[in-house]
Amino acid sequence: MRSVSVIGIGETQMGRFPARSLREMVSIAGEKAILDAGVEKKEIQALYIGNFVAQQLCGQGHMGSQASEVLGLGNIPTVRTEAACASGSEAFRMGLIAVMSGIYDIVLVGGVEKMTHRNTETVTEAIASAMDYELEMMEGFTFPANFAMIASRYFHEYRNVKREMALCAVNAHHNASLNPDAQMPKEVTLEAVLSAQRIADPLSIFDCSLVTDGAAFVVLATTEIAKRLGRHRVVEVIGSGHAGDVITLAAKKSITSFAAATSAAAQAYKAACLGPGDIDLAEVHDCFTITQIINIEDLGFFERGHGGDAVAEGVTALGGKKPINTSGGLKAKGHPIGATGISQIYEIVTQLRGDAGPRQVRKADIGLTHNLGGTAGTCLIHIFRGE
């Protein structure tokens, strides 16, 4: 297997852009990534694109072909992947495997989502297609409801971490205030989060991630090509893990730890020959604040039941020992679902290159992305090293 690196990155501003088309967002982020890589379009040999709900919300499928037309990529093969909120990371892994294995040398990988032009009910129903339609959606389940049950169970098994969950939101908004691409770049206070409107007990509105329009793209190439280009610090993909689980909440063995995440993490650490202690910073899938606490435990950063302690002690804050979601995360940078996994990688590469400006982490050599799909029915984890 060949070593693979990220040679170019690009993303749109994240936010509410109901007048922006899928084509426009693909064009902005895709062109940025290609320009950043410094390669010619004719050198790109394949396109992988993650998208979750454009078929339901925009009437648009076959987005590989559409994106290829928008970006003028000729007759290259294209693939759309969909695994709910992990759609982007699946595109990344498919592109990674193709370059690792020698099928292609340079590929473009992206994700895009357009959501805010539709009303809340329509968006909620579309997002619910990530769960089982007959067994969950038709019974009235929604994602806030699912993750409220997960939080309640976590409180039962360990302790009430409502305050620590609120601190996750406070951190996320602080980091987002330093990220020009963030949807909600404004600070919030602990008191504001704790007194916010309830959505599904114990989750309040500040415990939930955002509905976002946006796109993100990266260019992957062999590390040999990355070194030859010499434009940026080389950011090598040193570990990739991909695992799954049953789709329904009720069928899971545990809901306070996600089997897909622990399995994907083990694969990624093994491939990278590293452990949790070696990771300088991580972007994790904080679809809800409770999810962030579970994720940092699943990744082995902190002991079971103690993720909240780490948050309370400032370990996961921007200046802490293990900064989490320096971008602002799904919570405050935004959650353009099909693009989320790629936007996480955008942040890690930006940090490893030392280009993160006021939110730059001092020691940023090894970064990790953790992307969940649905109620943790899918998880992809990638580890990156700045050379």
Residue 173 catalytic? no
* CB 84, CB 373: distance < 8 Å: yes
Residue 66 near a second copy by CB under 8 A: yes
Does 247 contact a second copy by CB under 8 A? Answer: yes
Would you call 50 helix, strand, or coil by DSSP?
strand
Query: Binding to a second copy by residue 133, rule CB under 8 A?
Result: yes
Q: Is 340 in the site for a second copy (CB under 8 A)?
A: no
Kindly state whether residue 246 participates in binding a second copy, applying the rule CB under 8 A.
yes
Q: Using CB under 8 A, which of the segments 10-18, 30-38, 115-123, 260-268 binds a second copy?
A: 260-268
Active-site residue identified among 85, 208, 287, 379: 85
Size of the site for a second copy (CB under 8 A): 65
Q: Is residue 132 near a second copy by the rule CB under 8 A? A: yes
Within 80-99, which residues bind a second copy (CB under 8 A)?
Answer: 80-84, 90, 94, 97-98
In the complex with a second copy, the residue whose CB is nearer, 48 or 346, is 48
Q: Which of 174, 242, 285, 335 is catalytic?
A: 335
- In single-letter form, the type of residue at position 153 comes to R
Stretch that binds a second copy, among 64-72, 179-187, 190-198, 293-301 (CB under 8 A): 64-72
Alpha-carbon distance of 86 to 36, in angstroms, equals 24
Least separation, in Å, of the C-beta of 229 and a second copy? 24
- What is the C-alpha to C-alpha distance for residues 265 and 312, in angstroms, rounded to an integer? 24
- Distances in whole angstroms, Cα of residue 103 to Cα of each of 64, 107, 243: 18, 10, 23
Q: What single string gives the DSSP state of each residue in 252-308?
A: -S-SSS-HHHHHHHHHHHHHHT--GGG--EEE---SBHHHHHHHHHHTTSS-TT-HH
Q: Least separation, in Å, of the C-beta of 298 and a second copy?
A: 13
- What does DSSP assign to residue 128? G
- How many of the other CB atoms lie within 10 Å of CB of 123? 17
- 36 close to 10: Cβ distance less than 8 angstroms: yes
For position 126 contacting a second copy by CB under 8 A, the verdict is yes
Cα atoms in the 13 Å half-sphere on the side-chain side of 246:
10
Q: Is 65 in the site for a second copy (CB under 8 A)?
A: yes
Residue 162: which of 115, 196, 124 has the closest Cα?
196
354-373 residues near a second copy, rule: CB under 8 A: 373
Of 21, 308, 26, the residue nearest 164 (C-alpha)? 308
Stretch that binds a second copy, among 169-177, 255-263, 284-292, 353-361 (CB under 8 A): 255-263
Is residue 195 a contact residue for a second copy (CB under 8 A)? no
Which residues are near a second copy by CB under 8 A?
A: 1, 21, 23, 46-47, 52-53, 55-56, 58-66, 68-69, 73, 75-84, 90, 94, 97-98, 100-103, 125-126, 128-134, 137, 242-248, 251, 259-260, 263-264, 373-374, 377-378
Q: Among all residues, which ones are annotated catalytic?
A: 85, 335
